[in-house]
């Protein structure tokens, strides 16, 4: 499941990169930073990425997720800091939905 989630995230980041003056280093895979203190990604671009990702995840996994929620915003280590962290976060959310 994580490989499929990672693929969806990379697809969304790749599409976002086409609109950015300085693309995110997607070639770094799981280590690709997305949004952190030294990132050049602005908050509007992050919102665009999250909206696109939520839509793709709904299509591919038949789940309705809200990625930017109280849990993600209050986390000590942001799930939006890297592709790997975001992959783990999405996998956890999907598991929680299926176990409820």
Number of structural domains, the chain?
A: 1
Spatial separation of the C-alpha atoms in residues 32 and 37, rounded to whole Å: 14
Q: Is residue 48 within 8 Å of residue 6, measured between CB atoms?
A: no
pLDDT in tens, the chain (100 residues): 999 999 999 999 999 999 999 999 999 999 999 998 777 889 899 999 999 999 999 999 999 999 998 888 777 889 999 999 999 999 999 999 888 7
Spatial separation of the C-alpha atoms in residues 74 and 59, rounded to whole Å: 27
The pLDDT value given to residue 21:
94
Nearest CA among 54, 18, 25 for reference residue 39: 25
Give this prediction's pTM: 0.92
Residue range of the domain that includes 87: 1-99
CATH number, domain containing residue 19: 1.10.1200
CA dihedral 87→93→98→100, nearest 10 degrees, is 160
Half-sphere exposure of 44 (CA within 13 A, CB side): 2
């Amino acid at each position: 499941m994580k490989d499929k989630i990672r693929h969806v995230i990379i697809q969304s980041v790749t599409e976002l990169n086409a609109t950015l003056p300085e693309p995110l280093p997607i070639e770094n895979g799981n280590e690709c930073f997305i949004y952190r203190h030294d990132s050049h990604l602005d908050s509007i671009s992050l919102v665009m990425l999250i909206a696109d990702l939520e839509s793709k995840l709904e299509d591919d996994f038949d789940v309705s997720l809200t990625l930017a929620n109280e849990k993600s915003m209050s986390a000590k280590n942001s799930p939006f800091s890297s592709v790997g962290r975001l992959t783990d976060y999405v996998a956890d959310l999907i598991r929680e939905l299926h176990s409820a």
